[in-house]
Amino acid sequence: MTIPFVDLHAQYLALKDEIDAAIARTINNSSFVRGPDVEAFEAEYSELMEARHTVSCANGTDALYIAMKALGIKPGDEVITTAQSWISTSETIGQHRAKPVFVDIDPVTSTIDVSKIAEKITSRTVGIIPVHLYGQMADMPEVMAIAQRHNLWVIEDCAQAHLATINGKKAGQFGNIATWSFYPGKNLGAMGDAGAITTQDPALARHMACFARHGGLVKGDHEMEGINSRLDGLQAAILRVKLPHLANWTARRRAVAKRYDEMLADIAQIKTPTEVAGREHVYHLYVVETENRDSLGEFLKTQGIPTVINYKSALPFLPAYAHLGHVPEDFPIAFGLQNRILSLPIFAELNEAQQDSIADAISSFYGVVK
Ligand SMILES: *Cc1c(COP(=O)(O)O)cnc(C)c1O
C-alpha cells in the first residue's frame, strides 16, 4: 500500500459531478478571466472569513505583493517577518526593494517569537508580516499591540491557515490585510494557481483590486499602473464548489491530527505538534520533530509513506539571503529546527487504515511494540 502525501484525486472524486458541471458551465459561458463566478466567489469568501472585502488574485504570492503595494511600501523600507516560512513571505518584500528583517521563531508554535520583534524595529520599519505557520496562528493579539505602539501595518500571511482561530477570532481578522493561497495542496485548493486578499478597509480593497487589474476596475480606465494578477473563471467556479466543504475538511484534519497525537504519544523520540490553549490549529501540515529525521524519512519511504520537510532551510539561511550575512546564532530556534522537522501525510480523506500503517511504521522504526 502506498499513501499519498496529499490526495488531491480523492477530493476531486468526492465532488466530481459538481466540479465537472462547474467547469462545463464556465467553458460554455466563456467567462475565463474574472466573470460571474469570480464575483460570487469573492462574496462567498468574504462571508465565510468575516471580511468586508475579498480581492481575488492569481496566487498567494501576488496577494502579498499587492497588499504591501497598497500599504505604500517604498524601496529601503524594512518589513519584519518570521524566520520560518515559505519564501513567498519574504521574496515579495524584496520585490518592492524593501528589506526583510527576520525574527526567530517561538519553539512551541514555530510562528514568529513576539518577544523578539521590538528589538528589530528601526526608524525604517514600516510593517510586520506574521505567518500562521502549518495552520496554527501566530500570537496576533501581541503582534497587533506591538504594531499599534510603533505605528506599523500588519499583513497576516494566511496561506496555511483557512479557518484557524485564536480566542475564537479567525485568521485574517487582526491585521490591516490578510493574504490567502488556493494552491492545490492548501487547505482550500484550486486546480491551478489562485489567491485572494481580504480586508475590512474599503479604500485598501479598492486600491488592491485596481492594482491587480492593470490599475483599473473598468477596462481602459487606468487610474494607475498595475499588474496582471486575476483569478480565472475556472478556478473561481471550482473554488465555489469546494468552499462549502472547508469547515468539514478542517474538522477532519483536526481529527486526523488528534489521532496522530495519540498514536505517537508513547514514542519518546518523536515530538508531536503543540496546539496552544485558545488557538485552533487547522493542520495544513502535521510536523513532528525528531533527532532521526533523515533516517526516519528514508525508512518511511521504503514503506510507501511519503514525507516532506517544511522547510529544508529557514529563510535567513537560504542562498537567496546570503547577502544579509546571517549566522545560526542569529536565529537559533529556526536553525535548530531545520534538521529535526518532518511533515507526515495529512489531508481530510486520510483514512484510519492508512493512518494506522503510518503510525505502525513509525513505531517499528523506533522499536516501540504496540
Ligand atoms: C503557499 C504559501 C504562499 C504562496 O502561495 P502561492 O499561491 O503558492 O503563491 C505564501 N505564504 C505561505 C506561508 C505559503 O505556504
Q: DSSP letters along 28-67, please?
A: HHT--BSSHHHHHHHHHHHHHHT-SEEEEES-HHHHHHHH
Task: Name the architecture of domain 8-244.
Answer: 3-Layer(aba) Sandwich (3.40)
Contacts of 164 (CB under 8 A, 6+ apart): 132, 135, 136, 137, 158, 170, 171, 279, 280, 281, 282
Does any ligand 1 atom lie closer than 6 A to the CB of residue 156? no
Does the beta carbon of 59 lie inside 6 Å of ligand 1?
yes
* Residue having the nearest C-alpha atom to atom 6 of ligand 1: 60
- Reduced to 3 states (helix: H, G, I; strand: E, B; else coil), residue 256 is helix
Tell me if 55 sits within 8 A of 43, measured CB to CB.
no
Residue appearing with cell numbers 492569481: 58
Q: What confidence tens digit (pLDDT) does each residue in 128-179 have?
A: 999 999 999 999 999 999 999 999 999 999 999 999 999 999 999 999 999 9
Does any ligand 1 atom lie closer than 6 A to the CB of residue 198?
Answer: no
pLDDT > 90 in the chain, percent = 98
103 Cα–ligand 1 center, Å = 19
Whether pLDDT at 370 is above 80? no
Residue ranges matching CATH 3.90.1150.10 in the chain = 246-366
pLDDT at 269 over 80: yes
Q: What is the pTM of this model?
A: 0.98
| pLDDT classification of 219: cutoffs 50, 70, 90 | confident
Residue 72 backbone zone (phi > 0: left; psi -120 to 50: alpha; other: beta): left
Q: Residue range 110-124: average pLDDT? A: 98
Separation of alpha carbons 336 and 329, rounded Å: 10
Do 14 and 244 meet the contact criterion of CB atoms below 8 Å apart?
no
Q: Residues 26-56: pLDDT tens digits?
A: 999 999 998 999 999 999 999 999 999 999 9
Q: List helix spans (H) across 105-184.
A: 140-150
Q: Does 369 score more than 90 pLDDT?
A: no
Taking residues 75-94, what's their average pLDDT?
98
- Ligand 1 atom with minimal separation from the 62 CA: 9
Helical segments of the chain, H only: 8-14, 16-29, 36-49, 60-70, 88-95, 140-150, 202-212, 233-242, 246-264, 293-302, 332-337, 352-365
> Can you read off the three cell numbers belonging to residue 4?
499519498
Residue 181 near ligand 1, beta carbon < 6 Å:
yes
| Secondary structure letter of residue 203 according to DSSP | H
Pocket perturbation via mutation, ligand 1, pick of 81, 160, 229 by most ligand atoms within 8 A of CB: 160
| 169 is annotated as an active-site residue | no
**DSSP 8-class letter at 135:** G
Nearest CA owner, ligand 1 atom 14: 159
C-alpha cell at 334: 529556526
- Quote the CA–CA distance of 219 and 221 in Å, as a whole number: 6
> Exactly one of 69, 186, 219, 258 is catalytic; which is it?
186
Residue nearest ligand 1's atom 10 by CA: 88
Report the nearest atom of ligand 1 relative to the CA of 183.
7
Question: Average pLDDT for residues 53-82, to the nearest whole number?
Answer: 98
Local confidence band at 233 (pLDDT 50, 70, 90 cut-offs): very high
Atom of ligand 1 nearest to the CA of 89: 11
d(CA 266, ligand 1 centre) in Å: 34
Condensed to tens digits (0 to 9), the pLDDT of residues 337-352 reads: 999 999 999 999 999 9
Residues 77, 99 contacting (CB under 8 angstroms):
yes
Report whether residue 365 contacts ligand 1, using a CB cutoff of 6 Å.
no
Q: Which atom of ligand 1 is nearest to the CA of 132?
A: 13
Mean pLDDT (the chain, rounded): 97
> Rounded to an integer, what distance in angstroms lies between the CA atom of residue 82 and that of residue 315?
8
CATH 3.40.50.10420 corresponds to the domain 246-366: no
65: phi then psi, degrees, rounded to nearest 5? -60, -45
Place of cell 511519503: 306
User: What does DSSP assign to residue 213?
Assistant: B
Domain(s) of CATH 3.40.640.10: residues in the chain: 8-244
Q: Is 310 in the pocket of ligand 1 (CB under 6 A)?
A: no
